Amino acid sequence: MLPGAAISLQRHPRTRFVLYGDESVVLPVLDTLPALKAASTFHHCDVSIRMDERPSQALRQGRYKSSMWKTVEAVKTGEAHVAVSAGNTGALMAMAKFCLRTMAKVERPAIAGIWPTVRGESIVLDIGATIGADAQQLVDFSMMGAAMARALFGIEEPTVGLLNVGVEEVKGQDEVKEAARFLKENPIAGLSYRGFVEGDDLGKGTVDVVVTEGFTGNVALKTAEGTAKQIAGYLRAAMSQTWMARLGYILAKSAFDRLRDKMDPRKVNGGVFLGLNGIVIKSHGGTDAEGVAAAIDLACAMAENGLLGKVEDSLRLFHERLTTNGPTAAIAPETI
């Protein structure tokens, strides 16, 4: 975490860090990073949350005392603009939701991730916060994802698609079809709904924002990460089999370097918790300093571009419109 923060500080020299942790572990490392130390305030915490703790247990035992709670609380009190953690995802979500609370009219938060595509980058949500989602939640995810795309990519009207088993309107679960019907019949400012997208559209970059529920999104994320590692392994094995292959690698090294950089999951590390009254970013627990730096870079971009305000405005305008238009505009499950 600390070497990653030091790397990000070089790219964002105006950043200031508020660090929470065990002083016996943190301070010796911090002393080796003088620039980061000068830009940081450190607070000792006696309690840390283990990676295998259940969220309910972590919330009960770690609330008010743990380094994770203190990190999130700093956002609530205004001491920090964004909280970044590489710890237990479930515990972080539980604490963030309890401490920051969800925005008005938002039932469940979502985790949004950045997805590399052949066109650049897209946003995919939810990638693990909400297992199963009804039509209303999918519509909320669409608006929050579009707001993040406006803040991060500077796109005035991001394109949004619902992840489905086919592009035909008759396919998919009732919740997905109902959300699609609503988005199609009720245009939302700052969002261009493009219909259903399939799994192969994730890599194509067919839309700027792909919306799904957390189980499917998390499986898709882990599958993509595993596929990237698999391809990298194939290439390494192929390039070392014969002297001709090794010579070919040397001649094409710059191209392979660009490919490796494009496929590097560290470059897009960091899941943004959306729907809360504050910004929290979850870094992958198994990443290295470069991955942590990418998550902190993302935190800086979200704070500087006013992500929280854009999400709040989108949700407020949408729900005001629902109230004005009456109950016929509300989403209800299809009756059979």
- Please state the rounded mean pLDDT for residues 85-102: 90
Q: In what order do the strands lie in the sheet with 271-274?
A: 82-85, 279-282, 271-274, 110-117, 120-125, 209-211, 159-163, 192-197
Residue 52 lies in a domain: no
Closest CA relative to residue 164, chosen from 175, 150, 154: 175
Residue 7 lies in a domain: no
Residue 13 lies in a domain: no
pLDDT value at residue 332: 43
Per-residue model confidence as pLDDT tens digits over 169-180: 778 788 899 999
- Please state the rounded mean pLDDT for residues 4-29: 94
3-state SS class at 269: coil
Residue 232 lies in a domain: yes
Residue 263 lies in a domain: yes
> Is this structure's pTM higher than 0.85?
no
* 215-229, 275-289, 296-310: range with lowest mean pLDDT: 215-229
Flag whether pLDDT at 251 surpasses 70.
no
CATH value at residue 173: 3.40.718.10
pLDDT value at residue 219: 87
In the predicted model, what is the mean pLDDT of the chain? 84
pLDDT value at residue 236: 74
pLDDT value at residue 250: 72
Which is more confidently placed, 228 or 53? 53
Per-residue model confidence as pLDDT tens digits over 156-213: 889 999 999 888 877 878 889 999 998 888 877 788 999 999 988 888 889 999 999 8
Cα separation of 9 and 30, whole Å?
A: 13
How far from 181 is each of 117, 136, 174, 334, CA to CA, in Å?
A: 27, 11, 10, 11
Domain count, the chain: 1
> Domain range spanning residue 242?
102-284+305-326
Q: How many residues does the chain have?
A: 336
Residue 18 lies in a domain: no
Residue 112 lies in a domain: yes
Residue 265 lies in a domain: yes
